[in-house]
Amino acid sequence: MTNPLPPLGRAAGNGAATAKPDDRLVSDKRYKIIEATMRRYGYQGHGLIEALHSAQEAFGYLDDFTLMHIARTLHLPPSKVFGVATFYNLFTLKPQGAHTCVVCLGTACYIKGAREVLAAIEAEYDVKAGGTTRDNQLSLLTARCFGSCALAPVLTFDGETIGKVTPEAAAQQIAQRMMAIRQAA
């Protein structure tokens, strides 16, 4: 953590230019969702993972501010919150691209050529697994099994499952969907 936040209730250091942490909690409605989750567990520590799930769903990733907010609300040391957030693969501390493509590298998909599919997408979008394209449009991730193994190899695009993909067609299927979304917008 490069920029730890001051304790709750005090202005954030150098002058009026920086918003108080409390302001963001009030102005950004998404914190209400996280709040509701923490309340459901009586603001007790065992609700930490659920709170992190809520936060990631609301913001797409977990930033320092949000993690500190959760730590304070649940009365947990920041080290514990960061420890948990970095332990689990599903939580990410980096902002994600506008769209997310997850390629399954589970056994069934692997046996059916998922590695080639991944390589094809990496080449087409000039991005490595785990990274985001330079234009921030696409994050490419990998997973271990969605349980759709009968359709192997499988990838998901923004949560939609696409089965029986081929290295040749995968990049195109992604491009089509991104295009469709752009046109709809």
Partner 1 sequence: MNLEELNATATSERLARAKKRHHIHVCVGTACQALNSEQIAKALQAELKQRGQSHDAEVKCVGCPGLCSLGPLVEVESRVNGQATTDAPEEDRRKSVLYQFVKPEDAAEIIAHLDGEPVKRLETPLDQPFFTRQTKIVLENCGKIDPERIEDYIAAGGYQALMKALTEMTPQQVVDEITRSGLRGRGGAGFPTGLKWGTVAKADPNAYPTNVPEGIQSRKFVICNGDEGDPGAFMDRSLMEGDPHRILEGMAIAAYAVGANHGFIYVRAEYPLAVKRLRTAIRQAQRAGLLGNGIGGTAFSFNVDIRLGAGAFVCGEETALMASIEGGRGVPRPRPPFPAECGLWGCPTLINNVETLANVPPIIMKGADWFASIGTEKSKGTKVFALTGQVVNTGLIEVPMGITLREIVFDIGGGIPGGRQFKGVQTGGPSGGCIPAQFLDMPVDYESLAKVGSIMGSGGMIVMDDTTDMVEVARFFMEFCMDESCGKCIPCRAGTVQMHRILTKIQEGKATQRDIQILEELCDMVKHTSLCGLGQSAPNPVISTLRYFRDEYEKKINGHHKSKPNGLSD
> Which segments of 84-170 are extended strands (E)?
99-104, 138-143, 155-157, 160-162
Nearer to ligand FES, 66 or 148 (CB): 148
The reply on whether position 102 binds ligand FES by CB under 6 A is no
Residues that bind partner 1 (CB under 8 A): 41-42, 44-50, 52-53, 80, 83-84, 87-91, 104-112, 143-152, 154, 159-163
Report how far residue 105's alpha carbon sits from residue 10's, in angstroms, rounded to the nearest whole number. 47
Q: How many residues bind ligand FES (CB under 6 A)?
A: 12
Helix (H, G, I), strand (E, B) or coil at 162: strand
Please state, in angstroms and rounded to a whole number, the distance separating the CA atoms of residues 55 and 35: 9
Order across the sheet with 99-104: list the strands.
138-143, 99-104, 155-157, 160-162
Q: Strand 99-104 relative to strand 155-157: parallel, antiparallel, unpaired?
A: antiparallel
128 binds, among ligand FES, partner 1, none (CB under 5 to 8 A by kind): none
| 74/165 with CB nearer ligand FES | 165
Considering the rule CB under 6 A, would residue 104 count as an interface residue with ligand FES?
yes
**Minimum distance between the CB of residue 81 and partner 1, rounded to whole angstroms?**
10
Residues forming the site for ligand FES (CB under 6 A): 104, 106-109, 145-149, 152, 154
